Structure 1
Amino acid sequence: MNKPIPLLNDPDWRRVSALPIHENNEALVPASLASSGLHCYPAYYKLGIPNAVPECHMRRGVYQRLLTASRSLPEGLTLLVLDSWRPYSVQQYLYDTLYNAIENHWPDKPAAELEQLTREFVSLPSTDPRAPSPHLTGGSVDVTLVDEHGLMLDMGTQFDEATSWSHTAAFEQLDTPTAHEQKVIANRRLLYQAMTGAGFTNLPSEWWHYDFGNQLWAWYSGQPQACYGPTHPESLESRWRKEIDRRHQ
Protein backbone atom coordinates (compact mmCIF):
# COMPACT_ATOMS: atom_id res chain seq x y z
CA MET A 1 0.00 0.00 0.00
CA ASN A 2 3.08 2.26 -0.04
CA LYS A 3 3.29 2.42 -3.83
CA PRO A 4 3.49 6.03 -5.10
CA ILE A 5 0.38 7.57 -6.65
CA PRO A 6 0.96 8.12 -10.39
CA LEU A 7 0.72 11.61 -11.83
CA LEU A 8 -2.14 11.48 -14.35
CA ASN A 9 -3.40 14.09 -16.79
CA ASP A 10 -6.74 15.82 -16.29
CA PRO A 11 -9.55 14.33 -18.37
CA ASP A 12 -10.21 15.57 -21.88
CA TRP A 13 -13.87 16.27 -21.16
CA ARG A 14 -14.84 16.51 -24.83
CA ARG A 15 -13.55 13.02 -25.50
CA VAL A 16 -14.85 11.67 -22.18
CA SER A 17 -18.34 12.89 -23.06
CA ALA A 18 -18.11 11.21 -26.46
CA LEU A 19 -17.65 7.72 -24.99
CA PRO A 20 -20.78 5.61 -25.56
CA ILE A 21 -22.95 4.53 -22.64
CA HIS A 22 -24.64 1.12 -22.68
CA GLU A 23 -26.81 1.39 -19.58
CA ASN A 24 -27.03 -1.84 -17.57
CA ASN A 25 -29.93 -0.57 -15.42
CA GLU A 26 -28.20 -1.48 -12.19
CA ALA A 27 -30.18 -0.19 -9.20
CA LEU A 28 -29.09 2.49 -6.76
CA VAL A 29 -28.60 1.34 -3.17
CA PRO A 30 -27.98 3.41 0.00
CA ALA A 31 -24.51 3.28 1.55
CA SER A 32 -26.12 3.09 5.01
CA LEU A 33 -27.13 -0.52 4.22
CA ALA A 34 -23.69 -1.61 5.38
CA SER A 35 -23.79 -2.61 9.04
CA SER A 36 -19.99 -2.73 9.13
CA GLY A 37 -17.04 -2.04 6.86
CA LEU A 38 -18.41 1.23 5.53
CA HIS A 39 -19.44 4.55 7.05
CA CYS A 40 -21.70 7.17 5.49
CA TYR A 41 -21.79 10.91 6.17
CA PRO A 42 -23.78 12.82 3.49
CA ALA A 43 -21.62 15.93 3.58
CA TYR A 44 -23.73 18.23 1.40
CA TYR A 45 -26.91 17.45 3.31
CA LYS A 46 -25.10 18.10 6.60
CA LEU A 47 -23.83 21.41 5.20
CA GLY A 48 -27.37 22.47 4.30
CA ILE A 49 -26.81 22.56 0.54
CA PRO A 50 -30.23 23.14 -1.11
CA ASN A 51 -31.87 19.91 -2.37
CA ALA A 52 -29.07 17.69 -1.05
CA VAL A 53 -30.30 14.27 0.06
CA PRO A 54 -29.74 12.71 3.52
CA GLU A 55 -28.25 9.51 2.08
CA CYS A 56 -25.39 8.45 -0.17
CA HIS A 57 -27.01 6.47 -3.00
CA MET A 58 -24.79 4.53 -5.42
CA ARG A 59 -25.00 1.75 -7.97
CA ARG A 60 -24.99 -1.77 -6.57
CA GLY A 61 -21.65 -2.54 -8.22
CA VAL A 62 -20.12 0.57 -6.65
CA TYR A 63 -21.44 -0.40 -3.23
CA GLN A 64 -19.95 -3.90 -3.51
CA ARG A 65 -16.58 -2.55 -4.59
CA LEU A 66 -16.54 -0.03 -1.75
CA LEU A 67 -16.97 -2.88 0.71
CA THR A 68 -14.10 -4.72 -0.99
CA ALA A 69 -11.90 -1.61 -0.78
CA SER A 70 -12.75 -0.97 2.87
CA ARG A 71 -12.04 -4.57 3.86
CA SER A 72 -8.61 -4.38 2.25
CA LEU A 73 -7.54 -1.59 4.61
CA PRO A 74 -5.33 -2.13 7.66
CA GLU A 75 -7.15 -3.01 10.87
CA GLY A 76 -8.77 0.01 12.51
CA LEU A 77 -9.31 1.95 9.27
CA THR A 78 -12.60 2.23 7.38
CA LEU A 79 -13.90 4.01 4.30
CA LEU A 80 -16.18 6.98 4.85
CA VAL A 81 -18.54 7.91 2.00
CA LEU A 82 -19.16 11.66 1.80
CA ASP A 83 -21.19 11.81 -1.41
CA SER A 84 -22.23 9.67 -4.34
CA TRP A 85 -25.39 10.10 -6.47
CA ARG A 86 -26.08 13.80 -6.67
CA PRO A 87 -29.23 15.58 -7.90
CA TYR A 88 -28.78 17.87 -10.87
CA SER A 89 -29.84 20.87 -8.76
CA VAL A 90 -27.03 20.19 -6.28
CA GLN A 91 -24.51 19.86 -9.12
CA GLN A 92 -25.70 23.20 -10.52
CA TYR A 93 -25.46 24.84 -7.08
CA LEU A 94 -21.89 23.61 -6.54
CA TYR A 95 -20.80 24.65 -10.03
CA ASP A 96 -22.35 28.12 -9.78
CA THR A 97 -20.96 28.71 -6.29
CA LEU A 98 -17.39 27.85 -7.27
CA TYR A 99 -17.64 29.67 -10.62
CA ASN A 100 -18.85 32.84 -8.87
CA ALA A 101 -16.08 32.62 -6.25
CA ILE A 102 -13.44 32.31 -8.98
CA GLU A 103 -15.01 35.11 -11.02
CA ASN A 104 -15.05 37.43 -7.99
CA HIS A 105 -11.35 36.73 -7.43
CA TRP A 106 -10.39 37.13 -11.11
CA PRO A 107 -13.07 39.41 -12.63
CA ASP A 108 -11.02 40.03 -15.80
CA LYS A 109 -10.62 36.40 -16.81
CA PRO A 110 -12.62 35.33 -19.90
CA ALA A 111 -15.59 33.00 -19.41
CA ALA A 112 -13.82 30.04 -21.04
CA GLU A 113 -10.95 30.24 -18.55
CA LEU A 114 -13.35 30.63 -15.61
CA GLU A 115 -15.16 27.49 -16.76
CA GLN A 116 -11.89 25.59 -17.06
CA LEU A 117 -10.85 26.59 -13.54
CA THR A 118 -14.27 25.62 -12.18
CA ARG A 119 -14.29 22.24 -13.91
CA GLU A 120 -11.04 21.37 -12.18
CA PHE A 121 -13.14 20.64 -9.07
CA VAL A 122 -16.81 20.61 -10.16
CA SER A 123 -18.05 18.93 -13.32
CA LEU A 124 -20.33 20.77 -15.70
CA PRO A 125 -23.98 20.18 -14.71
CA SER A 126 -25.61 17.96 -17.32
CA THR A 127 -28.62 15.66 -17.58
CA ASP A 128 -27.79 14.76 -21.19
CA PRO A 129 -28.18 10.96 -21.36
CA ARG A 130 -25.15 10.86 -23.69
CA ALA A 131 -22.92 12.94 -21.38
CA PRO A 132 -24.27 13.21 -17.82
CA SER A 133 -22.46 14.75 -14.87
CA PRO A 134 -20.45 11.89 -13.29
CA HIS A 135 -22.22 12.02 -9.92
CA LEU A 136 -25.62 11.87 -11.64
CA THR A 137 -24.80 8.31 -12.75
CA GLY A 138 -24.40 6.87 -9.26
CA GLY A 139 -20.94 5.71 -10.36
CA SER A 140 -18.95 8.47 -8.66
CA VAL A 141 -18.11 8.44 -4.97
CA ASP A 142 -16.35 10.93 -2.72
CA VAL A 143 -14.56 9.06 0.04
CA THR A 144 -11.94 9.36 2.74
CA LEU A 145 -10.52 7.23 5.55
CA VAL A 146 -11.51 7.22 9.22
CA ASP A 147 -9.82 5.61 12.21
CA GLU A 148 -11.35 3.35 14.85
CA HIS A 149 -12.86 6.42 16.56
CA GLY A 150 -14.56 7.61 13.37
CA LEU A 151 -12.17 10.54 12.94
CA MET A 152 -10.99 11.43 9.43
CA LEU A 153 -7.34 10.84 8.61
CA ASP A 154 -5.26 13.84 7.55
CA MET A 155 -5.29 14.04 3.76
CA GLY A 156 -3.51 17.39 3.53
CA THR A 157 -6.61 19.34 2.46
CA GLN A 158 -10.28 19.30 3.36
CA PHE A 159 -12.84 17.49 1.25
CA ASP A 160 -13.82 19.79 -1.65
CA GLU A 161 -10.97 22.21 -0.97
CA ALA A 162 -10.37 23.91 -4.32
CA THR A 163 -6.57 24.21 -4.28
CA SER A 164 -3.76 22.52 -6.19
CA TRP A 165 -2.86 20.59 -3.02
CA SER A 166 -6.13 18.68 -3.44
CA HIS A 167 -4.72 17.04 -6.57
CA THR A 168 -4.30 13.39 -5.68
CA ALA A 169 -0.57 13.19 -6.41
CA ALA A 170 0.30 16.74 -5.28
CA PHE A 171 2.34 15.72 -2.24
CA GLU A 172 4.14 13.05 -4.26
CA GLN A 173 5.94 15.87 -6.09
CA LEU A 174 7.72 17.15 -2.95
CA ASP A 175 11.47 16.55 -2.92
CA THR A 176 11.88 16.67 0.87
CA PRO A 177 8.49 16.23 2.55
CA THR A 178 8.20 17.03 6.23
CA ALA A 179 7.05 14.43 8.75
CA HIS A 180 3.51 15.78 8.47
CA GLU A 181 3.63 15.71 4.65
CA GLN A 182 4.97 12.13 4.74
CA LYS A 183 1.91 11.16 6.79
CA VAL A 184 -0.39 12.82 4.24
CA ILE A 185 1.39 10.95 1.43
CA ALA A 186 0.94 7.64 3.28
CA ASN A 187 -2.76 8.30 3.94
CA ARG A 188 -3.49 9.23 0.33
CA ARG A 189 -1.62 6.17 -0.90
CA LEU A 190 -3.68 3.95 1.40
CA LEU A 191 -6.91 5.35 0.02
CA TYR A 192 -5.72 5.27 -3.59
CA GLN A 193 -4.44 1.70 -3.50
CA ALA A 194 -7.55 0.40 -1.73
CA MET A 195 -9.89 2.08 -4.20
CA THR A 196 -8.00 1.28 -7.41
CA GLY A 197 -7.44 -2.26 -6.16
CA ALA A 198 -11.23 -2.64 -6.01
CA GLY A 199 -11.64 -1.47 -9.61
CA PHE A 200 -12.17 2.29 -9.21
CA THR A 201 -10.38 5.05 -11.09
CA ASN A 202 -9.46 8.41 -9.59
CA LEU A 203 -10.05 11.95 -10.84
CA PRO A 204 -6.49 13.38 -10.60
CA SER A 205 -7.58 16.83 -9.38
CA GLU A 206 -9.47 15.42 -6.36
CA TRP A 207 -7.95 12.94 -3.91
CA TRP A 208 -11.46 12.06 -2.67
CA HIS A 209 -13.18 11.39 -6.04
CA TYR A 210 -13.37 7.86 -7.48
CA ASP A 211 -15.41 6.36 -10.31
CA PHE A 212 -16.70 3.04 -11.52
CA GLY A 213 -18.92 2.29 -14.50
CA ASN A 214 -19.39 5.83 -15.81
CA GLN A 215 -17.64 7.72 -18.62
CA LEU A 216 -14.82 8.99 -16.37
CA TRP A 217 -14.09 5.42 -15.31
CA ALA A 218 -14.14 4.27 -18.94
CA TRP A 219 -11.72 7.07 -19.88
CA TYR A 220 -9.14 6.34 -17.19
CA SER A 221 -9.45 2.55 -17.36
CA GLY A 222 -9.23 2.45 -21.16
CA GLN A 223 -12.67 0.91 -21.62
CA PRO A 224 -14.48 1.51 -24.92
CA GLN A 225 -17.80 2.30 -23.22
CA ALA A 226 -19.49 3.10 -19.92
CA CYS A 227 -22.29 1.08 -18.34
CA TYR A 228 -23.81 3.77 -16.10
CA GLY A 229 -25.81 6.69 -17.47
CA PRO A 230 -27.94 9.23 -15.59
CA THR A 231 -30.24 7.75 -12.96
CA HIS A 232 -32.14 8.65 -9.81
CA PRO A 233 -33.40 6.90 -6.66
CA GLU A 234 -36.78 5.30 -7.08
CA SER A 235 -39.60 7.00 -5.20
CA LEU A 236 -42.76 5.38 -3.96
CA GLU A 237 -44.76 7.42 -6.47
CA SER A 238 -42.61 6.32 -9.42
CA ARG A 239 -42.85 2.69 -8.31
CA TRP A 240 -46.64 2.87 -8.13
CA ARG A 241 -46.83 4.53 -11.53
CA LYS A 242 -44.75 1.72 -13.05
CA GLU A 243 -46.99 -0.90 -11.47
CA ILE A 244 -50.14 0.83 -12.77
CA ASP A 245 -48.63 1.18 -16.25
CA ARG A 246 -47.76 -2.55 -16.34
CA ARG A 247 -51.31 -3.51 -15.35
CA HIS A 248 -52.79 -1.50 -18.22
CA GLN A 249 -50.45 -2.60 -20.97
Structure 2
Amino acid sequence: MATLRWLRPTARVLATLLVTTVLSWTPTAATAEAGIVRASAPAGAGGRGPAGFVALSDVDHTILQDIRYDTYHNFVGRPIVGYRDPICILTRQAAEGLHRAQVAAQSLGYSLKVYDCFRPQRAVDDFVRWAERLDDQRMKAEFYPRVDKTVLFADGYIASRSGHSRGSTVDLTLVALPPRPQRPYLRGEPLVSCFAPRWQRFGDNTVDMGTGFDCFDPLANTLDPRITGRAMDNRLLLKQVMTDAGFTNYASEWWHYTLAGEPYPDTYFDFPVARRAVTGG
Protein backbone atom coordinates (compact mmCIF):
# COMPACT_ATOMS: atom_id res chain seq x y z
CA MET A 1 0.00 0.00 0.00
CA ALA A 2 1.34 3.42 -0.93
CA THR A 3 2.45 5.74 1.84
CA LEU A 4 0.95 9.23 1.78
CA ARG A 5 2.31 12.46 3.22
CA TRP A 6 -0.34 14.12 5.43
CA LEU A 7 -0.22 17.81 6.19
CA ARG A 8 -2.98 19.52 8.16
CA PRO A 9 -3.91 23.01 6.87
CA THR A 10 -3.08 26.00 9.01
CA ALA A 11 -4.64 28.75 6.87
CA ARG A 12 -6.78 29.20 3.79
CA VAL A 13 -4.88 29.06 0.51
CA LEU A 14 -5.71 31.88 -1.90
CA ALA A 15 -6.26 31.08 -5.54
CA THR A 16 -4.11 32.43 -8.37
CA LEU A 17 -5.85 33.02 -11.67
CA LEU A 18 -4.04 32.66 -14.97
CA VAL A 19 -4.96 35.18 -17.64
CA THR A 20 -4.08 34.16 -21.18
CA THR A 21 -5.29 34.85 -24.71
CA VAL A 22 -8.32 32.99 -26.02
CA LEU A 23 -7.84 31.19 -29.33
CA SER A 24 -10.64 29.97 -31.55
CA TRP A 25 -11.39 26.65 -33.21
CA THR A 26 -11.59 27.55 -36.92
CA PRO A 27 -12.47 25.59 -40.08
CA THR A 28 -9.12 25.41 -41.86
CA ALA A 29 -6.30 22.89 -42.24
CA ALA A 30 -4.99 21.40 -39.01
CA THR A 31 -1.93 23.41 -38.03
CA ALA A 32 -0.60 25.36 -35.08
CA GLU A 33 1.22 28.54 -35.94
CA ALA A 34 1.96 31.65 -33.93
CA GLY A 35 -0.22 30.28 -31.16
CA ILE A 36 -3.31 29.92 -33.40
CA VAL A 37 -4.99 26.53 -33.53
CA ARG A 38 -6.62 25.50 -36.79
CA ALA A 39 -8.69 22.42 -37.52
CA SER A 40 -10.11 20.42 -40.36
CA ALA A 41 -13.81 20.85 -39.45
CA PRO A 42 -15.97 23.65 -38.09
CA ALA A 43 -16.73 23.55 -34.38
CA GLY A 44 -20.43 23.64 -35.08
CA ALA A 45 -20.25 20.64 -37.41
CA GLY A 46 -19.28 18.22 -34.67
CA GLY A 47 -15.91 17.53 -36.30
CA ARG A 48 -12.95 15.85 -34.71
CA GLY A 49 -10.87 17.41 -32.00
CA PRO A 50 -7.21 18.18 -32.60
CA ALA A 51 -4.52 15.54 -32.54
CA GLY A 52 -3.46 14.71 -29.00
CA PHE A 53 -6.96 14.63 -27.46
CA VAL A 54 -8.38 11.28 -26.35
CA ALA A 55 -11.37 9.79 -24.59
CA LEU A 56 -10.34 9.06 -21.01
CA SER A 57 -11.99 5.63 -21.22
CA ASP A 58 -9.55 4.67 -23.98
CA VAL A 59 -6.66 5.28 -21.58
CA ASP A 60 -8.27 4.03 -18.34
CA HIS A 61 -11.74 2.50 -18.46
CA THR A 62 -11.82 1.97 -14.68
CA ILE A 63 -12.15 5.68 -13.82
CA LEU A 64 -15.80 6.46 -13.09
CA GLN A 65 -17.51 9.23 -15.07
CA ASP A 66 -20.42 11.43 -13.98
CA ILE A 67 -20.39 14.26 -16.52
CA ARG A 68 -22.72 16.72 -14.82
CA TYR A 69 -22.85 19.35 -17.58
CA ASP A 70 -24.49 16.83 -19.88
CA THR A 71 -27.37 16.57 -17.36
CA TYR A 72 -29.89 18.71 -15.46
CA HIS A 73 -27.94 18.32 -12.21
CA ASN A 74 -25.61 21.31 -12.32
CA PHE A 75 -25.70 24.94 -11.22
CA VAL A 76 -27.48 26.03 -14.42
CA GLY A 77 -30.14 23.32 -14.18
CA ARG A 78 -29.99 22.02 -17.76
CA PRO A 79 -27.52 20.44 -20.20
CA ILE A 80 -24.83 22.93 -21.16
CA VAL A 81 -24.16 24.08 -24.72
CA GLY A 82 -21.40 21.98 -26.29
CA TYR A 83 -22.00 18.80 -24.29
CA ARG A 84 -23.37 16.21 -26.71
CA ASP A 85 -22.29 13.00 -24.98
CA PRO A 86 -21.50 12.15 -21.33
CA ILE A 87 -17.83 11.58 -22.06
CA CYS A 88 -14.53 12.76 -20.58
CA ILE A 89 -12.13 14.10 -23.21
CA LEU A 90 -8.60 15.21 -22.28
CA THR A 91 -5.18 15.68 -23.78
CA ARG A 92 -3.39 12.36 -23.83
CA GLN A 93 -0.87 13.63 -21.28
CA ALA A 94 -3.64 14.53 -18.83
CA ALA A 95 -5.43 11.21 -19.39
CA GLU A 96 -2.21 9.31 -18.72
CA GLY A 97 -1.70 11.38 -15.59
CA LEU A 98 -5.18 10.43 -14.39
CA HIS A 99 -4.32 6.79 -15.03
CA ARG A 100 -1.33 7.14 -12.69
CA ALA A 101 -3.55 8.75 -10.06
CA GLN A 102 -6.13 5.99 -10.47
CA VAL A 103 -3.55 3.27 -9.88
CA ALA A 104 -2.52 4.99 -6.64
CA ALA A 105 -6.13 5.52 -5.56
CA GLN A 106 -7.05 1.89 -6.25
CA SER A 107 -4.13 0.69 -4.14
CA LEU A 108 -5.74 2.54 -1.24
CA GLY A 109 -9.24 1.21 -1.86
CA TYR A 110 -10.67 4.09 -3.93
CA SER A 111 -11.49 5.04 -7.49
CA LEU A 112 -11.41 8.43 -9.12
CA LYS A 113 -14.69 9.80 -10.48
CA VAL A 114 -14.63 12.68 -12.95
CA TYR A 115 -17.36 15.32 -13.12
CA ASP A 116 -15.90 17.43 -15.95
CA CYS A 117 -12.88 17.27 -18.23
CA PHE A 118 -12.41 19.21 -21.47
CA ARG A 119 -14.95 22.04 -21.59
CA PRO A 120 -15.40 23.83 -24.93
CA GLN A 121 -15.33 27.62 -25.04
CA ARG A 122 -18.97 27.63 -26.15
CA ALA A 123 -19.88 26.00 -22.81
CA VAL A 124 -17.98 28.69 -20.92
CA ASP A 125 -19.87 31.29 -22.95
CA ASP A 126 -23.10 29.55 -21.96
CA PHE A 127 -22.12 29.91 -18.28
CA VAL A 128 -21.48 33.62 -18.81
CA ARG A 129 -24.86 34.18 -20.44
CA TRP A 130 -26.55 32.30 -17.60
CA ALA A 131 -24.76 34.40 -14.98
CA GLU A 132 -25.99 37.58 -16.66
CA ARG A 133 -29.60 36.38 -16.45
CA LEU A 134 -30.16 37.37 -12.84
CA ASP A 135 -33.75 36.12 -12.76
CA ASP A 136 -32.69 32.51 -13.40
CA GLN A 137 -32.24 31.23 -9.85
CA ARG A 138 -33.63 27.71 -10.24
CA MET A 139 -30.56 25.92 -8.77
CA LYS A 140 -29.56 28.52 -6.17
CA ALA A 141 -30.75 26.51 -3.16
CA GLU A 142 -28.20 23.78 -3.88
CA PHE A 143 -25.22 25.38 -5.58
CA TYR A 144 -24.97 28.98 -4.29
CA PRO A 145 -27.36 29.39 -1.33
CA ARG A 146 -25.23 32.07 0.39
CA VAL A 147 -23.96 33.89 -2.70
CA ASP A 148 -25.91 36.56 -4.55
CA LYS A 149 -25.90 35.90 -8.28
CA THR A 150 -24.86 39.51 -8.94
CA VAL A 151 -21.38 38.82 -7.50
CA LEU A 152 -20.59 35.53 -9.25
CA PHE A 153 -18.14 37.28 -11.60
CA ALA A 154 -16.57 39.50 -8.94
CA ASP A 155 -16.09 36.56 -6.57
CA GLY A 156 -14.50 34.41 -9.27
CA TYR A 157 -17.13 31.68 -9.49
CA ILE A 158 -17.85 32.47 -13.16
CA ALA A 159 -15.29 33.72 -15.68
CA SER A 160 -15.12 34.22 -19.43
CA ARG A 161 -12.20 31.77 -19.76
CA SER A 162 -11.63 28.38 -18.16
CA GLY A 163 -8.55 26.19 -17.92
CA HIS A 164 -10.83 23.27 -18.82
CA SER A 165 -10.90 24.58 -22.39
CA ARG A 166 -7.17 23.88 -22.67
CA GLY A 167 -7.84 20.16 -22.28
CA SER A 168 -5.68 19.28 -19.28
CA THR A 169 -7.92 20.31 -16.37
CA VAL A 170 -10.32 17.97 -14.63
CA ASP A 171 -12.96 18.16 -11.89
CA LEU A 172 -13.06 14.96 -9.85
CA THR A 173 -13.55 13.21 -6.53
CA LEU A 174 -13.05 9.84 -4.85
CA VAL A 175 -15.37 6.83 -4.54
CA ALA A 176 -14.74 4.00 -2.09
CA LEU A 177 -14.35 0.57 -3.70
CA PRO A 178 -16.44 -1.27 -4.56
CA PRO A 179 -18.58 1.66 -5.69
CA ARG A 180 -22.12 1.81 -4.37
CA PRO A 181 -24.94 2.33 -6.87
CA GLN A 182 -25.83 5.99 -7.41
CA ARG A 183 -29.46 6.96 -7.78
CA PRO A 184 -30.43 9.08 -10.78
CA TYR A 185 -31.05 12.79 -10.33
CA LEU A 186 -34.72 13.61 -10.78
CA ARG A 187 -35.29 16.88 -12.62
CA GLY A 188 -37.14 19.28 -10.34
CA GLU A 189 -36.50 17.33 -7.14
CA PRO A 190 -36.16 19.37 -3.90
CA LEU A 191 -32.74 20.98 -3.63
CA VAL A 192 -30.47 20.75 -0.59
CA SER A 193 -27.56 23.09 0.13
CA CYS A 194 -24.22 21.90 -1.19
CA PHE A 195 -22.68 22.36 2.26
CA ALA A 196 -25.43 20.61 4.23
CA PRO A 197 -24.40 17.47 6.17
CA ARG A 198 -23.38 14.65 3.86
CA TRP A 199 -26.45 12.52 4.56
CA GLN A 200 -28.78 15.38 3.57
CA ARG A 201 -27.14 16.25 0.24
CA PHE A 202 -27.77 14.58 -3.12
CA GLY A 203 -27.11 10.89 -2.64
CA ASP A 204 -24.22 10.18 -4.97
CA ASN A 205 -21.71 7.44 -4.21
CA THR A 206 -18.67 9.56 -3.40
CA VAL A 207 -16.76 9.98 -0.15
CA ASP A 208 -17.56 13.04 1.97
CA MET A 209 -15.58 16.10 0.85
CA GLY A 210 -17.39 18.57 3.10
CA THR A 211 -19.34 20.11 0.20
CA GLY A 212 -20.80 18.86 -3.03
CA PHE A 213 -19.24 19.43 -6.45
CA ASP A 214 -19.55 22.97 -7.86
CA CYS A 215 -20.45 24.45 -4.49
CA PHE A 216 -20.14 28.24 -4.87
CA ASP A 217 -19.04 28.88 -1.30
CA PRO A 218 -15.74 29.48 0.53
CA LEU A 219 -16.24 26.11 2.23
CA ALA A 220 -15.23 24.57 -1.10
CA ASN A 221 -11.72 26.04 -0.74
CA THR A 222 -9.50 22.98 -0.57
CA LEU A 223 -7.90 23.84 2.78
CA ASP A 224 -10.70 25.82 4.40
CA PRO A 225 -10.03 25.30 8.14
CA ARG A 226 -13.74 24.85 8.88
CA ILE A 227 -13.65 21.53 7.05
CA THR A 228 -12.29 18.99 9.51
CA GLY A 229 -12.23 15.29 10.30
CA ARG A 230 -12.93 12.71 7.61
CA ALA A 231 -13.95 15.29 5.01
CA MET A 232 -10.60 17.08 5.24
CA ASP A 233 -8.77 13.76 5.25
CA ASN A 234 -10.54 12.87 2.01
CA ARG A 235 -9.60 16.19 0.42
CA LEU A 236 -5.98 15.66 1.38
CA LEU A 237 -6.03 12.12 0.05
CA LEU A 238 -7.33 13.32 -3.32
CA LYS A 239 -4.76 16.12 -3.32
CA GLN A 240 -1.94 13.70 -2.57
CA VAL A 241 -2.72 11.17 -5.29
CA MET A 242 -3.26 13.94 -7.83
CA THR A 243 -0.12 15.86 -6.88
CA ASP A 244 1.96 12.69 -7.08
CA ALA A 245 0.53 12.09 -10.57
CA GLY A 246 1.64 15.54 -11.75
CA PHE A 247 -1.42 17.72 -11.18
CA THR A 248 -1.83 21.03 -9.35
CA ASN A 249 -4.93 21.91 -7.34
CA TYR A 250 -6.87 25.17 -7.77
CA ALA A 251 -7.07 26.22 -4.13
CA SER A 252 -10.60 27.62 -4.30
CA GLU A 253 -12.10 24.29 -5.45
CA TRP A 254 -11.22 20.97 -3.85
CA TRP A 255 -12.29 19.11 -7.03
CA HIS A 256 -10.27 21.12 -9.61
CA TYR A 257 -6.85 19.93 -10.88
CA THR A 258 -4.64 20.90 -13.82
CA LEU A 259 -1.75 18.92 -15.25
CA ALA A 260 1.58 20.61 -14.58
CA GLY A 261 3.34 21.27 -17.87
CA GLU A 262 0.08 21.01 -19.81
CA PRO A 263 0.65 20.82 -23.59
CA TYR A 264 -1.63 23.78 -24.52
CA PRO A 265 -1.11 26.36 -21.75
CA ASP A 266 -2.28 29.33 -23.85
CA THR A 267 -4.86 27.72 -26.13
CA TYR A 268 -8.62 27.51 -25.60
CA PHE A 269 -10.41 24.97 -27.80
CA ASP A 270 -14.05 24.95 -28.87
CA PHE A 271 -14.87 21.55 -30.35
CA PRO A 272 -17.91 19.79 -28.81
CA VAL A 273 -17.76 17.16 -26.08
CA ALA A 274 -18.82 14.29 -28.30
CA ARG A 275 -17.66 10.76 -29.00
CA ARG A 276 -17.03 11.56 -32.64
CA ALA A 277 -14.63 14.33 -31.61
CA VAL A 278 -12.10 11.68 -30.58
CA THR A 279 -13.24 8.65 -32.59
CA GLY A 280 -14.08 10.11 -35.98
CA GLY A 281 -17.34 8.19 -35.91
Q: Same fold (TM over 0.5)?
A: yes
2:91 equivalent to 1:59: yes
CA distance in 1, matches of 2:211, 2:276: 39
Q: SS of 1:154's equivalent?
A: coil
CA distance in 2, matches of 1:228, 1:56: 21
Shift in Å, 1:96: 3.6
Q: Which residue is 1:4 aligned to?
A: 8
CA distance in 2, matches of 1:80, 1:239: 22
CA distance in 2, matches of 1:235, 1:186: 36
CA distance 1:82–1:3, change in 2 (3 Å): same
> Share of identical aligned residues, percent?
24
CA distance in 1, matches of 2:207, 2:279: 40
CA distance in 1, matches of 2:277, 2:234: 43
Shift in Å, 1:184: 0.2
2:75 equivalent to 1:71: no
Q: Which residue is 2:64 aligned to?
A: 39
Q: Which residue is 2:127 aligned to?
A: 94
Q: SS of 2:208's equivalent?
A: coil
Q: SS of 1:81's equivalent?
A: strand
Shift in Å, 1:135: 1.0
Q: Which residue is 1:130 aligned to?
A: none
CA distance in 2, matches of 1:56, 1:195: 17
CA distance 1:149–1:207, change in 2 (3 Å): same
Shift in Å, 1:230: 2.3
2:24 equivalent to 1:17: no
Aligned AA (1:82):
Y
Shift in Å, 1:148: 1.5
Q: SS of 1:44's equivalent?
A: helix
Q: SS of 2:8's equivalent?
A: coil
Q: Which residue is 1:230 aligned to?
A: 268
Shift in Å, 1:102: 10
2:173 equivalent to 1:144: yes
CA distance 1:96–1:237, change in 2 (3 Å): closer
Runs of 4+ in 1 over 6 A off after TM superposition: 21-25, 102-105, 233-240
CA distance 1:85–1:236, change in 2 (3 Å): closer
CA distance in 1, matches of 2:277, 2:165: 20
Q: SS of 1:190's equivalent?
A: helix
CA distance 1:183–1:9, change in 2 (3 Å): same
CA distance 1:28–1:3, change in 2 (3 Å): same
Is the 1:99–1:115 Cα contact (8 Å) retained in structure 2?
Answer: no
2:213 equivalent to 1:162: no
Instruction: Give unmatched runs, 5+ long, in structure 1.
Output: 126-132, 218-224, 241-249
Shift in Å, 1:197: 1.0
2:159 equivalent to 1:123: yes
Is the 2:57–2:88 Cα contact (8 Å) retained in structure 1?
Answer: yes
CA distance in 1, matches of 2:103, 2:121: 32
Q: SS of 2:170's equivalent?
A: strand
CA distance 1:140–1:149, change in 2 (3 Å): same
Q: How big is each residue's C-alpha offset from its partner over 1:8-53, in whole Å with a ceiling of 9 and x where there is no partner?
A: 322144xx427xx979976111122255541112111132423323
Aligned length: 208
CA distance in 2, matches of 1:200, 1:100: 34
Aligned AA (2:160):
L
Q: SS of 1:116's equivalent?
A: coil
Q: Which residue is 1:245 aligned to?
A: none
Instruction: Give unmatched runs, 5+ long, in structure 2.
Output: 22-33, 38-49, 73-77, 138-146, 180-204
Is the 1:22–1:226 Cα contact (8 Å) retained in structure 2?
Answer: no
Q: SS of 2:154's equivalent?
A: helix
CA distance 1:227–1:182, change in 2 (3 Å): same
Is the 2:248–2:260 Cα contact (8 Å) retained in structure 1?
Answer: no
TM-score calculated relative to the size of structure 2: 0.62
CA distance 1:62–1:205, change in 2 (3 Å): same
Write the mapping of 1:173-192 to structure 2, written as runs, cut at 5 A.
173-174=225-226, 181-192=228-239
